[in-house]
Amino acid sequence: MLQRTVTANGQRFHYAEQGEGPLVLLLHGFPESWHSWSHQIPMIAEAGYRAVAPDLRGYGRSSKPRRVDDYRITELVADCVGLVEALGETEAVVVGHDWGSMLAWTAAWTRPDVFRGVVGLSVAFGGRGLLPVAGVSSLGELRPSEVHRVIAGPDKAFYQEIWIDGEGLAAEAEEDMYTFFRDQFHSFSGDVYPADHQPPNVLTISPEEVLEFTRASGAVVDRGSRFRSGLVSPETLPEWLARDLDFYVAEYERTGLHHALNWYRCMDLDWELLAPYEGRPIEVPAMFIGSDLDVATLWGAEAIANFPTTVPRLTETVILERCGHWITREAPVATGEAIVRFLRTLSSAK
């Protein structure tokens, strides 16, 4: 696996690369980096593809513009298009997890001339709103800040409000990066649930049930509370977390979280910028990979149900079992196999 840098869309991007063949662009989420794809990169390469996983704008060893609106979704999509061009290609399949999923869906939605296929992990296609949350605004009917207030109710706050308020989450994390990342990753993983926990069925649960679940979870807190007060510390580190924790602690002790959080600070602006695409379906072949213990997959239940209309060329919805939010690391082999299976459907369709 090689690591390089390239200039694209006026920014410098660090990326990891392996393999030869059609380009597959792998987009990480928050708070991660190219490293989140370290298990899937060799699997995709071995299957006959060129796997490229960049540190996205504001992360790792890539550029970190200072202005908040430099992190608007149209500029992030332009980064993806620029990366394809800088890598000497004209098209790519785009695969994303978490925030990377929102970016991947949007790239395929707005630039189908460049992105010939899309795989979204964890976060279903949310239209203008990017993140479909609890059935309140599955396709961007309301601007994100309004969605947050509806979900939280009076005297409460949705977690994203805390994250973007001043230094917010960045200040909390930087007090002790090790315990913050340990508890953040653990709290949204499948390991936080007891072995006999029966998750709701994301394919049958109602929007009302999802909203009730969300309000009762750590995603909604008392105003003035610290986000990390709702996190859970593991008694022992699971293998997948022990393997990666030191990498992420070192990475964010060096960079901080401030620039990465600007992606969240732009969500209302993104909603405005994507207005011209409202009501349009995604035109290219697609796959969705969620997991049964991932709150973000559950939030998107209504959006998943809308896939026949919004993502009419969807080839498959995969729901991984006994897996939390960190799909690429908690279920690395199953994730890689699903992505390769999708890539091969594109090849066989030619």
Helices (H), 111-227: 144-152, 159-164, 168-174, 177-187, 207-216
Asked if residue 44 lies in contact with residue 343, where contact means CB atoms within 8 angstroms, the answer is yes
Give catalytic residues, as residue numbers: 98, 325
What gap in Å lies between CA 113 and CA 46, rounded to an integer? 26
> Does an H or E element contain 157, and which?
strand 156-158
What gap in Å lies between CA 15 and CA 62, rounded to an integer? 8
State both tokens at 103: 């970016």
Closest C-alpha to 317, from 299, 331, 303 = 303
Angle of CA points 28, 75, 148, to nearest 5°: 70
Q: Which residue has the tokens 């049930």?
A: 209
The residues with which 314 forms a beta bridge, in sequence order, are: 286
Cis ω before 144 (30° cut-off from 0): no
What gap in Å lies between CA 132 and CA 130, rounded to an integer? 6
Asked if residue 331 lies in contact with residue 338, where contact means CB atoms within 8 angstroms, the answer is no
Q: How far is CA 40 from CA 53, 116, 246, 293, in A?
A: 10, 20, 20, 21
